[in-house]
Structure 1
Amino acid sequence: MILTLAVSGYRSLRDIVLPLDRITLVTGANGSGKSSLYRSIRLLAEVSQGRAIASLAAEGGLNSTLWAGPEAFSRSMKRGEVPVQGTVRKNVISLKLGFADEDYGYAIDLGLPADAGRSFFSMDPEIKVEALWAGEALSRSNEIAGRSGPTVKVLNERGQRLPVVQNLARFDSMMTHAADPKDGLELLVLRERMRAWRFYDHLRTDRDAPARFPKIGTRTPVLSADGGDLAAALQTILEIGDEVALAEAIDDAFPGAAIEVTVNDGYFELLMQQKGLLRPLKTGELSDGTLRYLLLTAALLSPRPAPLVVLNEPETSLHPSLLQPLARLISKAAENTQVIVVSHADDLVSFLAEQPGCVRYDLRKELGETVVDNVEVPRWAWPKR
């Protein structure tokens, strides 16, 4: 389970360190920074896939994702006595992401390229430093692997930090290029753990959504990001997952309803029998809200639980009557999976906040910066360049 999440210099997240729990709720008004926090977690996952630079490029490049305010706010700025203005910069420009779980911690620092203006790729950020450590927070004594510039050093069995890679490209992470069963086992373990994180924010329910049409099915323990393999995912739960929990989740939201999956020439199709109807409905006939709930059910009751599932505004298209069943579904999933929920649905947040092992963060903006009040900030240290 992730215990600490840290972000610095990313959009409105100037400098934030949050303790996480089994269920972490992130809420707040529009523009308070919920999406930025969600994206920062997703960007961390992209590091383990080797796609962080491309993901930043898709957001407009490093310059458009960096914190746009001053390096620090003076007291007089916060009191409104003087206008917000830039000050003499003391630190280098950087975007930092990191987390610590029960075993390891990891942090990455991205900055401006050294050859800015001399290459067609001068908008690409450069990975300056990375660190992997054991324990709660990084220190000199617990660092297992570290990257500075093109060199990656790993702690060996004798307590020596020896270089394992000396020519790592500035756009490649040690997570993807130095993870090795022999010399970088801890890197390998953490990389695979991060690659197993799941994000659901684009589960389609529109008329042309992939989930509304029959599709060739194979065993599907993990629902795809767009939900196109919904029928196969639900059938997988029925065969090798928690069939009882699936039935209970559907009946909780739609009393008296049940699902079945049919197969025709290898094409899987989901049918839903609802109370009072003489025939089952195909997914193409279901409402957006009903289909979204089924998609979330397939995602959260996966027979292959993920170490982390992040849901971004799962309440979209759902009738208020479905929010409490969804909260119970999330709570059930949290028995095996850490869950982060980003939402502005008050009812969903209130229902979930009552669950054990849940922490809630209400984000707000102050002078353009995302602020979280009344947080006991955990110990944290960024790797130094």
Structure 2
Amino acid sequence: MITTLAVSGYRSLRDVVVPLSPLTVVTGGNGSGKSSLYRALRLLAQCGDGQVVGSLAREGGLQSALWAGPESLAGARRGAAVEGTVRKGPISLRMGYASDDFGYLVDLGLPQPTGLPTAFQRDPHVKRELIFSGPVMRPATLSMRRRRGLVEVRDGRSWSQVRDDLPAYRSVLREYADPHVAPEISSVRDQIRSWRFYDNIRVDADAPARRPQVGTRTSVLAGDGSDLAAAVQTILESGFDDLERTIADAFDGARPEVLIADGLFDVAIAQPGMLRPLRAAELSDGTLRYLLLATALLSVDAPPLLVLNEPETSLHSSLIEPLARLITAASMRSQIVLVTHSRALADALQADNGDRVSEVVLDKNLGETVVQGQGMLSKPPWEWGSR
């Protein structure tokens, strides 16, 4: 289980350390930093498949994604005017997590001027990557360290050099994860790659989920929902009835079906009193969204971590309690991080899960995202180290 998520220097997240439980509900007002926290976690996951540099470039480059305030707000909190100061540390975007086995930390910074012409000025550089065991990064708990192009793995009490010329735009998780030489790197990469993110899947008239698709066995719903029918059929054939029960719970005894013609799969909902099932193209936005969420949460291959961003969007209030029961059922198989605006959904999850659920309330203080009620003693321990 992921026990701690830490982000420093990303948008309003100047320095945030968040404790995670089996089911973590992230709430807060508009502009409090919920979406930034979700996107930072997604950026961290993209280190596993080499997409983090491209994602930041599409956000406008590292300069656009960085914390826009001063390095320290100590003076402003004492009543002084907010103003820039001479930096004591390098400009950086840092992200990391700790888990029951290994933790990972990545430090992204601005490229060093080389004097050579280049069209890739928006590409951030990986300055540092660390893999460690335990809840906090310490020199004694490190099993892999990367500084610029140099990659080393621990070999007993000494360090063994793996590579000294790793390009600054590539993560060690993408480029070097030999399970025989560096099993820790391989383990962290596989863990991160298995995380799943679902954020406002399209349900408009032209959404991929509304069109028949060629179907093959699908144990994981795609991020855009394009293989919905195949994923539903895979769940139905698995022998478990969780999907049928959650659809019946939400829609008064309705049941999901998959219509197959010439190898094309089309999902449908059969409702009591209707002469025929309604195909995906005929379903309301809310009904289709709920079916997509149910399929994502109940996929045959449960991920170790599943992250949902505002799943209540376009759902009628009558579906909030069934959605809470669905998320509760999924949290028995996967750790879940849920970002939501819905107070009703957060309350329903609290009522259903007891000590398994924790609520993280985000707030703004002088433009900085803070965890409400978190103090020096309640903040999870975390160390960034230095370059």
Name the TM-score, length of structure 2 as normaliser.
0.96
What secondary structure, in the 3-state scheme, does the structure 2 residue paired with 1:6 have? strand
Match of 1:186 among 180, 184, 187: 184
State the partner residue of 1:316. Answer: 313
State the partner residue of 1:140. Answer: 139
Matching residue's letter, 1:186 = E
What secondary structure, in the 3-state scheme, does the structure 2 residue paired with 1:364 have? strand
State the partner residue of 1:149. Answer: 148
State the partner residue of 2:46. Answer: 46
> Equivalences for 1:290-329 in 2 at 5 Å?
290-329=287-326
Shift of 1:214: 1.1
Deviating beyond 2 angstroms after TM superposition, the runs of 4 or more aligned structure 1 residues are 116-120
- Give the Cα separation in 2 of the matches to 1:159 and 1:221: 42
State the partner residue of 2:165. Answer: 167
Answer whether contact 2:60 2:122 (CA < 8 A) is retained.
Answer: no
State the partner residue of 1:288. Answer: 285
Q: Deviations over 1:39-83 (max 9, x none)?
A: 0000001000111100100111000000000111125x225x332
Match of 1:226 among 210, 216, 224: 224
State the partner residue of 1:274. Answer: 271
Answer whether contact 1:292 1:318 (CA < 8 A) is retained.
Answer: yes
- Give the Cα separation in 2 of the matches to 1:297 and 1:241: 16
Answer whether contact 1:152 1:178 (CA < 8 A) is retained.
Answer: no
- Give the Cα separation in 2 of the matches to 1:349 and 1:195: 28
What secondary structure, in the 3-state scheme, does the structure 2 residue paired with 1:155 have? strand
Answer whether contact 1:116 1:123 (CA < 8 A) is retained.
Answer: no
- Give the Cα separation in 1 of the matches to 2:342 and 2:81: 35
- Give the Cα separation in 2 of the matches to 1:161 and 1:256: 61
Matching residue's letter, 1:65 = A
* Change in 2 beyond 3 A, CA 1:95/1:320: same
- Give the Cα separation in 2 of the matches to 1:121 and 1:281: 49
State the partner residue of 1:87. Answer: 85
State the partner residue of 2:349. Answer: 352
What secondary structure, in the 3-state scheme, does the structure 1 residue paired with 2:139 have? coil
State the partner residue of 1:65. Answer: 65
* Change in 2 beyond 3 A, CA 1:331/1:117: farther
Answer whether contact 2:130 2:145 (CA < 8 A) is retained.
Answer: yes
Answer whether contact 1:11 1:65 (CA < 8 A) is retained.
Answer: yes
Shift of 1:193: 0.9
State the partner residue of 1:379. Answer: 381
Matching residue's letter, 2:126 = I
Answer whether contact 2:200 2:310 (CA < 8 A) is retained.
Answer: no
What secondary structure, in the 3-state scheme, does the structure 2 residue paired with 1:14 have? coil
State the partner residue of 2:24. Answer: 24
Matching residue's letter, 2:332 = E
State the partner residue of 2:193. Answer: 195
State the partner residue of 1:104. Answer: 102
Q: Deviations over 1:24-52 (max 9, x none)?
A: 11111111101100000000010001111
Q: Deviations over 1:69-114 (max 9, x none)?
A: 0111125x225x3321112211111100000110001000011111
Answer whether contact 2:70 2:84 (CA < 8 A) is retained.
Answer: yes
Matching residue's letter, 1:78 = R
In the alignment, is residue 212 of structure 1 matched against residue 210 of structure 2?
Answer: yes
Shift of 1:383: 3.5
Answer whether contact 2:9 2:92 (CA < 8 A) is retained.
Answer: yes
**Bigger CA drift: 36-45 or 373-382?**
373-382
Match of 1:236 among 229, 234, 237: 234
Answer whether contact 1:6 1:98 (CA < 8 A) is retained.
Answer: yes
What secondary structure, in the 3-state scheme, does the structure 1 residue paired with 2:170 have? coil
Answer whether contact 2:130 2:144 (CA < 8 A) is retained.
Answer: yes
Shift of 1:302: 0.9
Answer whether contact 1:70 1:87 (CA < 8 A) is retained.
Answer: yes
What secondary structure, in the 3-state scheme, does the structure 2 residue paired with 1:5 have? strand
**Is there any run of 5+ residues in structure 2 with no aligned partner, and where?**
none
- Give the Cα separation in 2 of the matches to 1:277 and 1:177: 55
Between the two proteins, the alignment pairs up a number of residues equal to 381
- Give the Cα separation in 2 of the matches to 1:168 and 1:334: 38
Q: Deviations over 1:100-150 (max 9, x none)?
A: 110001000011111177532222111111100111111111100000111
* Change in 2 beyond 3 A, CA 1:241/1:155: farther
Shift of 1:369: 0.6
State the partner residue of 1:55. Answer: 55
Q: Deviations over 1:158-181 (max 9, x none)?
A: 332110011100111111112112
State the partner residue of 1:341. Answer: 338
Superposed CA RMSD? 1.3
Shift of 1:353: 2.2
**Is there any run of 5+ residues in structure 1 with no aligned partner, and where?**
none
In the alignment, is residue 10 of structure 1 matched against residue 10 of structure 2?
Answer: yes
- Give the Cα separation in 2 of the matches to 1:180 and 1:360: 38
Shift of 1:241: 5.4
- Give the Cα separation in 1 of the matches to 2:173 and 2:138: 19
